[in-house]
Amino acid sequence: MDHGELWQDWYGIIPLLVGSIMVAVVALFIAVPLGVSAAIYVSEVAQRREKSLIKPYIEFISAISVGRAWIFGIAVVGQTLRAISQLSIMKWVPFFPISERLNVFTAGSLLALMAVPTIFTLAEDALRNVPRGFKEASYALGANRLQTIVRVLVPASLSGIISAILLGLGRVIGETMVVLLCAGNRIAIPDFTQGLGAFFQPVHTMTGIIAQEMGKWCAAASIIAPSLWWSGAFCVNPRINYLAQKLVTRYRMSIG
């Protein structure tokens, strides 16, 4: 074993914490633009017939089982990404080709798929609850639809949109089986010297290690049980809810 591998052989939560954060970053990077933009389109642009089609389909995504999701992640997302990375026209990318189908990006993509319905539903509710007088006043002053959305409706509903994003983050952080099956389960800090290539390396997460080592909870006088318990303490959603309340209080616009 060379010196480069020795520094990984130590006990600690840092590799798991780094893995959880990286997967959450990828998931939110994909889910937030999709969820918020879909909410704006359905709330302010789409016709009634479009709403009746788009909204149920997005909300139906939350009904997809984890079993189907991880198969889709391995067979479609992971395999397609690896095949693209092996194309000759992609040789200019420094970290291509990719050898692992199970990595941060695969797990993050699936978690984004699961977080989109949460972000979409809550953001759309926040936009719909903006008083109608705000929109009418904007149009009366000569603003067009895009200006009204960007400068009036989104700022007025910003607290609700932030809450939707943070609740989506809670959904991502608390997910267990998808990251356990699709993140690669390698307890090591990715090689950040590869830049964005670090997001295409296998990792392990805090929730994943809890599920994987759950059988050792019953072992008497085992160091595993308290270690897993404290790992779980970092994933408790009340921390995210507390942050959401602080941000909502800060960005709430008075509508009285």
The two structure tokens encoding residue 244: 């959401």
Angle at 180 between CA 232 and CA 222, to 5 degrees: 45
Q: Can you give the pLDDT at residue 41?
A: 92
User: Alpha-carbon distance 199 to 254, whole Å?
Assistant: 41
User: Alpha-carbon distance 83 to 121, whole Å?
Assistant: 34
The two structure tokens encoding residue 187: 């307890």
50: left (phi over 0), alpha (psi -120 to 50) or beta: alpha
Q: Can you give the pLDDT at residue 25?
A: 93
User: Alpha-carbon distance 22 to 45, whole Å?
Assistant: 34
User: Alpha-carbon distance 120 to 33, whole Å?
Assistant: 10
Q: Can you give the pLDDT at residue 254?
A: 42
Q: Facing residues of 203 across strands?
A: 184
User: Alpha-carbon distance 195 to 11, whole Å?
Assistant: 25
Which residue ranges make up each domain of the chain? 9-251
Q: For residue 185, what is the DSSP state?
A: -
Could you tell me the CA-to-CA distances from 198 to 103, 111, 190 in Å, in that order? Answer: 9, 18, 5
Closest CA to 178 of 89, 111, 102, 127: 111
Q: Can you give the pLDDT at residue 11?
A: 61
In the numeric block, the tokens 């789409």 are attached to: 46
Q: Can you give the pLDDT at residue 3?
A: 47
- Tens digit of each residue's pLDDT, the chain (256 residues): 444 444 445 567 788 888 888 999 999 999 999 999 999 999 888 888 888 888 888 888 877 776 667 777 777 888 888 888 888 888 888 888 888 888 899 999 989 988 999 999 989 988 988 888 888 898 898 888 888 998 889 988 888 898 888 888 888 888 888 888 888 888 888 888 888 888 998 998 888 777 777 666 555 556 666 666 666 665 555 566 666 666 666 655 444 3
Task: Please count the residues of the chain.
Answer: 256
User: Alpha-carbon distance 100 to 71, whole Å?
Assistant: 15
Q: Facing residues of 127 across strands?
A: none
Which of the listed CATH numbers 1.10.540.10, 1.10.3720.10, 3.40.30.10, 1.10.1060.10 matches domain 9-251? Answer: 1.10.3720.10
**Residue 178 CB neighbours (<10 A):** 26
Rounded (10°) angle between helices 158-174 and 104-128: 150
User: Alpha-carbon distance 185 to 111, whole Å?
Assistant: 16
Q: Facing residues of 185 across strands?
A: none
pTM: 0.82
Q: Can you give the pLDDT at residue 250?
A: 64
Q: Can you give the pLDDT at residue 78?
A: 82
Contacts of 172 (CB under 8 A, 6+ apart): 23, 24, 27, 28, 31, 111, 112, 114, 115
